[in-house]
Amino acid sequence: MNELPGRSCPSFDATPRVDLWCACPADIDDPRLLHAYRALLSEAERERQDRFLFARDRHRDLVTRALVRIVLSRYADLAPEAWRFVPNRYGRPGIANPAAGLRDLSFNISHGGARVIVAVARGIQVGVDTESIAARPAPLAIAERYFSRDEAEALEALPAALRQQRFYETWTLKEAYVKARSMGMWLPFEQVAFHFEGERHVRLALGASLGDSASRWQLSQLWPDDEHVVSVCAGCGADTMPSLHATAIVPWVSEAPLGFRLARSSTAAAMPAQAQAGRTSVRSK
């Protein structure tokens, strides 16, 4: 059962594309479905899941692992239980199956608030991060350690009522970038800086020690609702806006287009003003 009846595999053409598959674990509670999800996992994944102290964390991990496997099977002729993953030197998971057609497939996972998001792209690196701006007070003290001086000063200069949102907007962009590079916290966050220029443009600046160029990356920041911010970093070049498609999914049960408000990007070109055809609506303000 790789996909729902009538659902075709996502197609990728010459335009860079990022698919965002979004699930809410708290809404998935059918015992038979959860049992079927667990049967997909490797023995190592099941052992890892059992080590979680709290039931809610075990549940979220189960839904996440099943979501990844079921979603990836939409892009390849491989059963969900057949996927194999191996961590890189930084502990980031990658596809270990040897099939040649999988070598250019990349994915990334993020949890935030009530949502789990899996981003999938072909031929480009991708990173995604999401946070709830309402779940808890922003740990603003973190900015002193992980933000660049310019970022920290810009945050401090904002009215107090706006700092929480800007903190999470900045933090999710940082996370999306380091995840796109498959290095996580091994990269010095303070060397990855974001400058908010006007309401709809964000610029990436990288420290020389990172050995990377900002021109390699396209940034998009989206809001699926008033509480969650989602940042996407795609390695398709700074002048190329990827096609973004989002789906709300209960794996093996239902799928529906998910609308996002596209708040800003790093592309100087005009952002989309209407819903994209296909799996989602990506809207500008």
The pLDDT tens digits for 164-205 are 999 999 999 999 999 999 886 778 889 999 999 988 999 999
pLDDT over 70 at 119, yes or no = yes
pLDDT over 80 at 9, yes or no = no
Task: Determine the pLDDT at residue 283.
Answer: 34
Task: Determine the pLDDT at residue 2.
Answer: 46
pLDDT band at 11 (very low <50, low <70, confident <90, very high): low
pLDDT over 50 at 282, yes or no = no
pLDDT over 90 at 215, yes or no = yes
pLDDT band at 134 (very low <50, low <70, confident <90, very high): confident
Task: Determine the pLDDT at residue 90.
Answer: 82
Between the CA of residue 209 and those of 128, 179, 191, what are the distances in Å? 23, 17, 8
Average pLDDT, the chain: 88
Residue 15 has phi, psi (to 5 degrees) of -80, 125
pLDDT band at 277 (very low <50, low <70, confident <90, very high): very low
Task: Determine the pLDDT at residue 271.
Answer: 45
Q: What average pLDDT does this structure show over 71-77? A: 95
Contact 70, 252 (CB under 8 A): yes
Task: Determine the pLDDT at residue 38.
Answer: 98
CATH superfamily assigned to domain 17-284: 4'-phosphopantetheinyl transferase domain (3.90.470.20)
Q: What average pLDDT does this structure show over 154-160? A: 93
pLDDT band at 153 (very low <50, low <70, confident <90, very high): very high
Q: What are the pLDDT digits (tens) for 48-62?
A: 999 999 999 999 999
Contacts of 204 (CB under 8 A, 6+ apart): 173, 177, 192, 193, 194, 214, 217, 219, 238, 266
What is the separation of C-alpha 51 from the centre of its chain, rounded to a whole number of angstroms?
25
Distance, first Cα to last Cα, the chain: 38
Residue 108, token pair as written in the block: 């990334």
Q: What are the pLDDT digits (tens) for 250-271?
A: 999 999 999 999 999 998 543 4
